[in-house]
A and B are shown apart, each in its own frame.
Chain A
Amino acid sequence: MAEKLTEPNFLPPVYFISPFGLFFHLQNLPPATIFEKIWNEHIVYQEPGGPSLLYIDRHLVHEVTSPQAFDGLREKRRKVRRPDLTYATMDHNVPTSNRSLPIVDQTSAVQIQTLAKNCSEFGITLFDMKSPDQGIVHVIGPELGLTLPGTTIVCGDSHTSTHGAFGAFALGIGTSEVEHVLATQCLWLDRPKTFAVTLTGKRKNPHAVTAKDMMLYVIRKIGTAGGTGHVLEYRGDAISDLSMENRMTICNMSIEAGARAGLIAPDTTTIDFVRGRRYAPKGEHFEKASEYWESLASDPNAKFDKSVEFNVSSLPPQVSWGTNPGMVADVTENVPDPTEYSAGNENERKAAIRALEYMALDPGTPITDIKVDRVFIGSCTNSRLEDLAEASIVVKGRKVSPSVRAMVVPGSQQVKLEAERLGLDRIFREAGFEWRESGCSMCLGMNPDILSPGERCASTSNRNFEGRQGSGGRTHLVSPVMAAAAAIEGRFVDVREWL
């Protein structure tokens, strides 16, 4: 008998309790995808012909998108329904330099203090700037075992899709919805459609061609609106071969394909990762929960509304050249010509012309001729231990190019500590990288880590939008090993030649 969630006295889903229910479940339900199973399991109320009210198992909160939600609760004298299922941290605004110094930017400081006050007033657990568990919300959720298979997870942040790597339905929401979840622990949703993204093939050099390259390639192929209204399920041997950290990189960027969420069915890799984490179930309960988690995989005959398949065995490293995450090329290619790129779509052509103008790139320029001023290794996409360890292999014994300023920003205090235990900080520092405190840092320029106008950055983050890393800054999205190699050479290189 399978167990659904995580708690010591947690009973199995209701249909398992009655033998007739079990019979009904096995005999009569049509084949379902993992997403449909999780969805059905969380329906609290169904509006006839309308949206469903879904129960939310975990609500993660950060300082930027929550203050107005707490104000809304106060105005209406409402409480947080389940403070025990709500966890908060500070990540977007926090400086990544010396934590013992006060925050210079007063508006950031106010936002951070506001979160602390709100958490204390409403009884929410907060991992604040001094906590050994502080970090990017999408790094610490999995790290602490708050992120579990089969659950529904929301956060006022579009990259909540990251948690889908565990086989959870995890989605970003706006502030009004944050307020709604705080007050009701539920969310109204129209059921998204399903989209199977199957990746097959053994990568020839998995150290040089990473999950980041696979995902940039997927977005390049299906487009930044390719997943709109859908939940992507990543499948295939190239996905099941991936570590949890790499799976998180894939699911993280589901939103860059426009998707409502992205997920990967739990397997032994998932279960091994979750076992022993602080908030994960323990002992016998864990074993029962694991059985349930493994039962969640999409049924063999489950139907998807859409599907694509790509073979990644000879995929080269990917580099973005434009101002949206679908504007991507192989490292071996040239900056494209807008007319060829747009394939006859006038709006696309105009967008590509504007992008190249913003990026100060000429069509036909080899990607490996593009010089960079800054390198950023970090963000909820690529700041976990494995990302840093892989990048350190490229860096070890080499020096950062004198024309480049390079920084490594671990995703959490735990990642930082573990990396330091392994001596990774020394490798980066000796090469000339800055080794920083954990936070969102230069992914979105809300804290002191920003690009100056015109600066060009090789970044392991997720968005290359105009001004994302600082007004006038130019972002190229790459993997951690590609970013590390760009720091050394001062330009993009095909890191397959180094690894």
Chain B
Amino acid sequence: MDTDQIVPKQFLKLTSKTGYGKYLFYDWRFDSEGRPRSDFVLNDPKYAGRQILLARDNFGSGSSREHAAWAILDYGFRAVIAPSFADIFYNNCSKNGILAVRLAAEQVDYLFENHDQDISLDLPNQTVVAGNLKASFEIDEFRKKVLLEGLDSIGLTLKLGKEISAYEARNRVAPPT
């Protein structure tokens, strides 16, 4: 699933970060007349209000557009579970407070097969529990801390201003000539 499908290019022209939920999976959700496609999962009323998006391998591949993460969040999802994610998309998720969880393919298969079961996601303990499944997932400590505490990562980095200035002085970083 590439980010062109998550938010098609015609919706990238806005200059805001909000309001992309209605464009999420646009070409899969709506036909060429803009009518909901009855065979697309998000159009089934029983899935309304769900907060965890289940996906397959290499989710979020392709374009770096952060609009994909903004759309997922704006639609109401708080977390995405997949066997693997594309690198840029994975970063974009954590920058927006979306928890991207990697599980083994069989575990994701189980969640797809039992998609009516409640899934509980525990970030501090790094576990996913649903029915008979009790799985743990990996996340690096830094990312976890930023997600849990909702930290402003630019603010954190600016506290390292001295180190950055020292690097610039040491390496004589000067503009191109």
Q: How far is the CB of B171 from chain A (nearest CB, A)?
A: 7
CB pair B66–A93 under 8 Å, yes or no, is no
Considering only CB atoms, which chain B residue lies closest to A17 in the complex? Answer: B170
A260 is contacted by which of B56, B57, B87, B171 (Cβ under 8 Å)?
B87
Considering only CB atoms, which chain A residue lies closest to B18 in the complex? Answer: A68
User: A347 near B: Cβ within 8 Å?
Assistant: yes
Among A445-463, those with CB < 8 Å from B are 445-446, 453, 463
User: B62 near A: Cβ within 8 Å?
Assistant: yes
CB pair A444–B61 under 8 Å, yes or no, is no
User: B48 near A: Cβ within 8 Å?
Assistant: no
CB pair A446–B92 under 8 Å, yes or no, is no
Query: How far is it, in angstroms, between the C-alpha of A465 and the C-alpha of B28 when the chains are bound?
Result: 13
User: A122 near B: Cβ within 8 Å?
Assistant: no
Q: A49-B141, A107-B13, A465-B62 are in contact. Are A228 and B87 (CB under 8 A)?
A: yes
Q: How far is the CB of B58 from chain A (nearest CB, A)?
A: 4
**Interface pairs (14), CB distance under 8 Å:** A50-B142, A68-B16, A93-B13, A111-B13, A172-B64, A172-B88, A173-B64, A174-B65, A174-B88, A225-B84, A229-B87, A279-B177, A280-B176, A463-B2
CB pair A84–B170 under 8 Å, yes or no, is no
Interface with B: A4-12, A29-37, A429-437, which one? Answer: A4-12
CB pair B13–A184 under 8 Å, yes or no, is no
B-chain residues with CB within 8 Å of residue A472 when the two chains form the complex: 32
A-chain residues with CB within 8 Å of residue B142 when the two chains form the complex: 47, 50-51, 188
Which interface residue of B13, B141, B153, B164 has the most chain A CB atoms within 10 A? B13
B-chain residues with CB within 8 Å of residue A180 when the two chains form the complex: 153-154, 157
User: A224 near B: Cβ within 8 Å?
Assistant: yes
Residue-wise interface mask of B (146-177) relative to A, using a CB-CB cutoff of 8 A (1 in contact, 0 not) = 00000011110110100110011011111111
Beyond contacts A174-B88, A192-B87: 8 other A-B pairs, Cβ-Cβ < 8 A, are A50-B140, A51-B142, A92-B12, A107-B14, A145-B176, A174-B95, A279-B176, A468-B4
Number of A-B pairs, beta carbon distance below 8 Å? 198
A-chain residues with CB within 8 Å of residue B66 when the two chains form the complex: 65, 68, 174-176
B-chain residues with CB within 8 Å of residue A444 when the two chains form the complex: 4, 9, 63
User: A471 near B: Cβ within 8 Å?
Assistant: yes
CB pair B164–A185 under 8 Å, yes or no, is yes
Which interface residue of A7, A13, A281 has the most chain B CB atoms within 10 A? A7
By the criterion of a CB under 8 Å from any partner CB, how many residues of chain A are at the interface?
84
* 9 A-B pairs with the lowest CB-CB distances in the bound complex, closest first: A84-B175, A176-B95, A67-B15, A279-B176, A174-B66, A174-B92, A107-B13, A7-B174, A50-B142
Q: A53-B163, A173-B64, A466-B27 are in contact. Are A85 and B154 (CB under 8 A)?
A: no
B-chain residues with CB within 8 Å of residue A8 when the two chains form the complex: 177
User: A146 near B: Cβ within 8 Å?
Assistant: yes
User: B8 near A: Cβ within 8 Å?
Assistant: yes
Report the contact-size class of chain B (Cβ under 8 Å from the partner).
35 or more
Query: How far is it, in angstroms, between the C-alpha of A47 and the C-alpha of B152 when the chains are bound?
Result: 16
Query: How far is it, in angstroms, between the C-alpha of A49 and the C-alpha of B140 when the chains are bound?
Result: 9
A-chain residues with CB within 8 Å of residue B4 when the two chains form the complex: 444, 463, 465-468
Among B65-112, those with CB < 8 Å from A are 65-66, 69, 84, 86-88, 91-92, 95-96
Among A136-177, those with CB < 8 Å from B are 145-146, 156-158, 172-177
User: B17 near A: Cβ within 8 Å?
Assistant: yes
Which interface residue of B95, B154, B176 has the most chain A CB atoms within 10 A? B176
B-chain residues with CB within 8 Å of residue A95 when the two chains form the complex: none
Query: How far is it, in angstroms, between the C-alpha of A347 and the C-alpha of B141 when the chains are bound?
Result: 32
Query: How far is it, in angstroms, between the C-alpha of A279 and the C-alpha of B177 when the chains are bound?
Result: 5
A158 is contacted by which of B8, B27, B63 (Cβ under 8 Å)?
B63
Q: How far is the CB of B9 from chain A (nearest CB, A)?
A: 5
Q: How far is the CB of B175 from chain A (nearest CB, A)?
A: 4
Considering only CB atoms, which chain B residue lies closest to A85 in the complex? Answer: B175
CB pair B64–A158 under 8 Å, yes or no, is yes
A225 is contacted by which of B15, B32, B86, B177 (Cβ under 8 Å)?
B86
User: A338 near B: Cβ within 8 Å?
Assistant: no
B interface residues with partner A (beta carbon < 8 Å): 2, 4-5, 8-10, 12-17, 27, 32, 56-58, 61-66, 69, 84, 86-88, 91-92, 95-96, 140-142, 152-155, 157-158, 160, 163-164, 167-168, 170-177
Q: A4-B171, A53-B163, A107-B14 are in contact. Are A158 and B176 (CB under 8 A)?
A: no
A50 is contacted by which of B92, B95, B141 (Cβ under 8 Å)?
B141
B-chain residues with CB within 8 Å of residue A463 when the two chains form the complex: 2, 4, 62-63
User: A25 near B: Cβ within 8 Å?
Assistant: no
B58 is contacted by which of A14, A53, A255, A258 (Cβ under 8 Å)?
A258
A14 is contacted by which of B56, B88, B170 (Cβ under 8 Å)?
B170
CB pair B88–A173 under 8 Å, yes or no, is yes
CB pair B64–A44 under 8 Å, yes or no, is no
CB pair B64–A65 under 8 Å, yes or no, is yes
Query: How far is it, in angstroms, between the C-alpha of A55 and the C-alpha of B167 when the chains are bound?
Result: 8
User: A313 near B: Cβ within 8 Å?
Assistant: no
User: A22 near B: Cβ within 8 Å?
Assistant: no
User: A64 near B: Cβ within 8 Å?
Assistant: yes
Which interface residue of A68, A174, A281, A445 has the most chain B CB atoms within 10 A? A174
Q: How far is the CB of A446 from chain B (nearest CB, A)?
A: 5
User: A291 near B: Cβ within 8 Å?
Assistant: no
Among A218-253, those with CB < 8 Å from B are 224-225, 228-229
